[in-house]
Amino acid sequence: MRAALLQRVEQAMGAAVQEHHAVSGGCIADARCVRLVDGRSCFIKSMDGGQQPFLQEAHGLRELAKGGALRIPQVLHVEEDLLILEWLGQGRPKDGFMEILGRGLAQLHRVPSTAFGFYEDNFLGASPQLNTPQETGMSWATFYWEKRLFPQWQWAEQKGLATADLRRLMGRLEDRLEGLLAGSEEAPALLHGDLWSGNVMADAQGAPCLIDPAVYYGHREAELGMTSLFGGFGSAFYRAYEEAFPLPDGHLERRGLYELYHVLNHLNLFGSGYLGQAVQLLRRYVG
């Protein structure tokens, strides 16, 4: 850790740093566990240059804490290029971990809003995620197209990643999306926004915790779609969620529509290796 950054951490925490070491999870930012001379430990994320999402990440973590069901790391200090969180420890998942996670996520999804989106735009990984303006009365289908799928398509065009197939299929989806989502309408729910297995961890006591959010208020089917994309959650998680907060009929058939947003994002972040998967998902719904 650079001396200037070390000094800023000490000033923010009001105690000298005794030791620090790198931890996993710093693919975008430098991530470290810091132990202070007063015995406290904290988690530090820092970044030089580029888009710095720490203010938005802090706001998202504070929003998730409203759910009161799952452990969310407390924000201790935040600046544009520095985020200090409580240190959760790293334990082995305890018995019933996935059931606890499923029930806790269902409770999180009961936190309501009057409109889809969030009070600020934020980031999905390193990609901008559009949440504003929050327009009361905007349908979920309109929000999902205008703030999620269409921007990803635009970015793919700008990056030279869009093919004729992708253009044709995305155009068809625009015309058919409202019909494909018909019957699933719900009020906006608080979402983590980027819920893959890497953003779930076990704390020192083995309880599930949520980290690295891309928070907004949306349809909870979108959250469950992300969990299915890369796997790692298992039947116990889905069973516990359904028992606590059943999803609308047809949710499994719609799940690929929500996987699509994240596949398009991976296309834009990591390149054409994700193009085939995006096209395959689109063909499933619009031929």
User: Are the C-beta atoms of 67 and 111 separated by less than 8 Å?
Assistant: yes
Q: How far apart, in Å, are the Cα atoms of 102 and each of 95, 131, 195? A: 13, 26, 12
Give first-to-last CA distance, the chain, whole Å.
52
- Single-letter amino acid, residue 56: Q
Give the max Cα distance, the chain: 62
Burial class (CB in 10 A: 0-12, 13-18, 19+), 129: buried
Opening angle at CA 127, ends 124 and 133, nearest 5 = 75
- Single-letter amino acid, residue 275: L
Which member of 48, 121, 165, 194 is catalytic?
194
CA distance 125 to 212: 8
**Hey, is 58 helix, strand or coil?**
helix
CA distance 3 to 19: 13
Closest CA to 10 of 68, 61, 82, 58: 82
Give the Cβ contact number of residue 124 at 10 Å: 22
Dump strand ranges (E) for the chain: 17-22, 30-36, 41-46, 75-79, 82-86, 122-124, 127-129, 189-191, 200-202, 208-210, 216-218
Q: Is residue 194 annotated as part of the catalytic site, yes or no?
A: yes
**Residues forming the active site:** 194
